[in-house]
Chain A
């Protein structure tokens, strides 16, 4: 696990420079993808069944990270169809993010008593 993490960090830090060159960007992005999946598998197999529901709602909130892309689309200067799609995506992704993190917090609160 520490080895995976180090690799991932090194790769991510280098990636913006690689991405801007264009040619190697797909490979760089794939590298990050694969390493992140490995980190994900390592971390998530250690999560006990007791916490699987909070894991699902919490990871669901994390998948709302697409809001970052939505903001870029919705923040365009002229209002056109692309910007409209961006607005819709901001709304839906924010429901996901806010709802997901809040409900996970609420659920985890119930696991805290008599600790």
Chain B
């Protein structure tokens, strides 16, 4: 096929990718948007096979069959709770694929221009950082046992700085000596270490930021490879993904009131002015499922605030049953979703949607907060730091200024939790000791099931 026709087909694919992403702006059009993106990919792949550079098809077919089978297996088997680790792993695959493509192209050309050498270095660096960073994120999110034994590097910021400088130096050497392949593989080697050292210290509540940032990197790596190959569809699609990841990263940082550098290089821990758990938990009132059922019996408006603990307890289906039961009895039920609830952007929404909870009941933080004072009962299940009023009232708290769901402003709040143990931020939560708060200790799923039984019997 003529070069011009191939490039025109790539243009069509790029436009379809943009319309595909546009489809994701509404749940109603999202399925079609995703299919549009898939068609664009198919088109790009098919026209590439007509390129004059493609001379044999055996290897390609082997690769596509193996990759397609693995991808399909992942996609059909993964549980919705496991989405964060799967996306992390796939980010890594995308990043390293871009690195390999840039490497292969670099091996084949002996006289790379400066432009191409810069792009090759960028692709090797970004793609490989994406790979090792994503593998660390994957291992953390999947909670592999060996990750518990892995300690963060001592003086990690210095290690990061040194590795970063060495990587940049090697990039410079590669651009100065584009005929030498060694520098490329040295960049890859150093970038493997850099990705590891950047990600290993980050944990817990900051995971949504990391995973969004790695998402962005995987796109930027593809765009850099596009510069190497001078291929517009790679540049356009890669930068769309890069932009998407960066936006999500910023949304997550805003939702925690932390800057990106603070997440990447800082630490979060109790400061000297933080009260100890014993000082805070002086007024904790334990309750029973029957008592909660009685409260709900006279309530008109109920808000449920889920956190990652709900996913761990697999309680979303019981929560759906409870919501349905309350709505059948004429109550108004809504869900308050904090942007960083869960381990990746939008994670709670997917879990609740999987449990057949209509998405129009899922309210964003600002929307639900404006109705909190008119809420009779607010049920918190598996959330902690995202409902900690210290963020609003105590300027010395490590989470001061973080936007929270104002559960403490509801007339009564019921917190379902195994114990009074702290959340990711490691600080006590004054909500648990508030006058209008009741603690229902136990497993999330069992507790909700008990409430349902108590309501039906009462």
Contacts and interface: CB of A to CB of B under 8 A. Distances in A.
A89 B55 contact: no
B7 A72 contact: no
Interface string A94-109: 1111111111111111
B38 A69 contact: no
Interface string B41-63: 10011001101011111011011
Contact of A63 (B27, B102, B219): B219
Contact of A99 (B34, B72, B349): B72
Interface string A76-107: 11011111011111111111111111111111
A52 B343 CA distance: 12
Given A59-B21, A59-B244, A66 B221 contact: yes
Nearest to A30: B227
Contact of A37 (B74, B80, B233, B239): B239
B113 interface: yes
A100 B188 CA distance: 25
B107 to A, nearest CB: 4
A13 interface: yes
A25 B115 contact: yes
Interface in B349-381: 349-350, 353-354, 356, 358-359, 362, 364
Nearest to B236: A36
Contact of A58 (B37, B72, B212): B37
B101 A62 contact: no
B104 A85 contact: yes
Contact of B18 (A5, A80, A89): A5
B90 A66 contact: no
B220 to A, nearest CB: 9
A50 B237 contact: no
Given A50-B349, A94-B68, A69 B234 contact: yes
B238 interface: yes
Nearest to B245: A59
A2 interface: no
A98 B94 CA distance: 12
B31 A109 contact: yes
Contacts of B98: 63, 66, 69, 89
A90 B86 CA distance: 19
A8 B90 CA distance: 29
A112 B7 CA distance: 36
A74 B63 contact: yes
B75 to A, nearest CB: 4
Contact of A98 (B17, B67, B339, B359): B67
Contacts of A67: 41, 44-45, 97
Contacts of A91: 63, 66-67, 70
B3 A16 contact: yes
B149 interface: no
Interface in B56-93: 56-57, 59-60, 62-64, 66-68, 70-72, 74-76, 78, 80, 83, 86-87, 90-91, 93
Contacts of B31: 105, 108-109, 112
A81 B184 CA distance: 14
B101 A97 contact: no
A102 B72 contact: yes
Interface in A35-54: 36-37, 39-41, 43-54
A53 B30 contact: no
B78 A103 contact: yes
A7 interface: no
A46 to B, nearest CB: 5
A65 B103 contact: no
Nearest to B339: A49
Contacts of B198: none
A71 B34 contact: no
Interface in B1-42: 3-4, 7-8, 10-11, 14-15, 17-18, 20-22, 24-28, 30-31, 33-35, 37-38, 41
16 contacts: A26-B227, A44-B21, A49-B251, A55-B248, A56-B215, A65-B233, A65-B237, A66-B94, A75-B53, A95-B90, A98-B71, A98-B75, A99-B90, A103-B75, A107-B80, A110-B350
Given A59-B240, A73-B100, A97-B41, 14 more contacts: A29-B226, A29-B227, A36-B240, A43-B21, A50-B362, A51-B30, A51-B346, A62-B21, A63-B91, A83-B104, A89-B100, A92-B100, A97-B67, A98-B71
The 9 closest A-B pairs by CB, nearest first: A94-B67, A52-B346, A40-B243, A90-B63, A99-B71, A75-B54, A98-B71, A102-B75, A52-B345
